[in-house]
């Protein structure tokens, strides 16, 4: 995979403007919707059991994030994922805080068993989801922030990808993307991204958008993370703290040109 692939997928995304259906948490809705708009998609947040599957059917991709889960929403997540999968549409699982409570761990495992096209999470979450054991055994889930470096979860990511049959992405200082066999590293991003809430959730939504336009889910996932990371780098250069960083991040997602993506993507 080369940086040119990142640029090509970004071009295609902006041409096709995919409709991305999100069932995501209350904290992430605003920033994720704005990021999807900024990068060139049409986002929608639709969670009711009464319509989630119908909306999945008219969308180009689905992003499921359990950040502020509750039983009716979990029902809608299953219904939407089932419909999306049945229609061959890509869907992403972001298992926020898996391992922190029994409820999150069980819900994440249930959704993972449906075979998401991609899972995106931090290292602690990937470890917890892969091991299916909760926070004690993985030695460090603490709320929703990671207490592991991303390279500590590469083996777990490979194992998880073999189980789900899809892509698994561990994000951190370096992002690792695997299908259980191939492994792509993405070294874009900036530490300030950990100081703005829900940017991980937003990365998952952007992965869904790229899956809607990519032929190879591994490359689409890596491209999404490269674009997200590049926007973070540009934002860091243009800001003085987490408030101005978030603003600049949106501007950067909007302004990032395919040439800049090709020049800046650091893949390995």
> Any contact of residue 91 with a second copy (CB under 8 A)?
no
Q: How far is CA 148 from CA 39, 124, 145, 163, 171, in A?
A: 29, 6, 9, 22, 11
Nearer to a second copy, 147 or 185 (CB): 147
Query: Which residues, numbered 236-255, are part of the site for a second copy (CB under 8 A)?
Result: 239-244, 246-252, 254-255
The length of the chain, given as a count of residues? 268
Residue 228: which H helix or E strand, with range? helix 217-237
b/e burial code for range 145-179 (CB count within 10 A of at least 16 → b): ebbbebebbbebbbbbbebbebbbbbbbebbbbbb
> Any contact of residue 208 with a second copy (CB under 8 A)?
no
> Any contact of residue 257 with a second copy (CB under 8 A)?
no
CB of 68 to a second copy, least distance (A): 6
Residue 236 contacts residue 192 (beta carbons within 8 Å): yes
Residue 82: which H helix or E strand, with range? helix 71-86
In this structure, the number of other CB atoms found within 10 A of the CB of residue 100 comes to: 18
> Any contact of residue 178 with a second copy (CB under 8 A)?
no
Strands 118-122 and 167-171, sheet pairing: parallel
Contact with a second copy (CB under 8 A) among 13, 45, 62, 177: 45
CB of 199 to a second copy, least distance (A): 10
Region from 17-25, 125-133, 148-156, 182-190 binding a second copy, contact rule CB under 8 A: 17-25
Residue 51 contacts residue 246 (beta carbons within 8 Å): no
Nearer to a second copy, 251 or 260 (CB): 251
CB of 144 to a second copy, least distance (A): 5
Contact with a second copy (CB under 8 A) among 3, 82, 85, 103: 103
Radius of gyration from C-alpha coordinates of the chain = 16
Q: How far is CA 20 from CA 2, 194, 212, in A?
A: 26, 24, 8
Eight-state DSSP code of residue 194: G
Tell me the C-alpha distance between 67 and 70, whole Å.
Answer: 10
Residue 230 contacts residue 188 (beta carbons within 8 Å): yes
Nearer to a second copy, 37 or 109 (CB): 37
> Any contact of residue 30 with a second copy (CB under 8 A)?
yes
Nearer to a second copy, 155 or 195 (CB): 195
Query: Which residues, numbered 180-199, are part of the site for a second copy (CB under 8 A)?
Result: 195-198
Nearer to a second copy, 71 or 88 (CB): 71
Nearer to a second copy, 66 or 186 (CB): 66
> Any contact of residue 129 with a second copy (CB under 8 A)?
no
CA angle 53, 73, 146 (to 5 degrees): 115
> Any contact of residue 85 with a second copy (CB under 8 A)?
no
Query: Where do contacts with a second copy occur on this chain (CB under 8 A)?
Result: 19, 21, 25-27, 29-31, 33-34, 37-38, 42-51, 54-55, 58-59, 67-72, 97, 100-104, 135, 142-145, 195-198, 239-244, 246-252, 254-255
């Amino acid at each position: 995979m080369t940086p040119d692939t990142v640029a090509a997928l970004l071009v295609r995304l902006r041409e096709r403007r995919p409709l991305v259906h999100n069932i995501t948490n209350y904290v992430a809705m605003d920033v994720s919707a704005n990021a999807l708009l900024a990068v060139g998609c049409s986002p929608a947040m639709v969670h009711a059991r009464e319509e989630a599957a119908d909306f999945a059917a008219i969308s180009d991709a689905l992003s499921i994030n359990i950040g502020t889960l509750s039983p009716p929403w979990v029902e809608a997540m299953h219904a939407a994922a089932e419909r999306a999968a049945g229609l061959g549409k890509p869907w992403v699982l972001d298992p926020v805080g898996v391992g922190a409570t029994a409820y999150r761990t069980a819900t994440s495992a249930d959704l993972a068993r449906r075979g998401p096209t991609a899972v995106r999470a931090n290292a602690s979450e990937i470890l917890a989801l892969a091991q299916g054991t909760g926070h004690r055994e993985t030695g460090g889930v603490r709320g929703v922030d990671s207490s592991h470096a991303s390279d500590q979860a590469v083996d777990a990511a490979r194992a998880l990808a073999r189980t789900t049959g899809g892509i698994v992405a561990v994000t951190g200082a370096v992002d690792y993307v695997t299908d259980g066999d191939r492994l792509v590293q993405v070294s874009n991003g900036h530490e300030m991204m950990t100081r703005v809430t829900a940017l991980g959730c937003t990365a998952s939504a952007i992965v869904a958008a790229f899956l809607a336009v990519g032929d190879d889910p591994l490359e689409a996932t890596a491209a999404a993370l490269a674009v997200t990371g590049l926007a973070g780098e540009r934002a860091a250069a243009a800001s003085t703290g987490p408030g101005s960083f978030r603003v600049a991040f949106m501007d950067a997602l909007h302004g990032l040109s395919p040439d800049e993506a090709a020049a800046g993507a650091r893949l390995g």
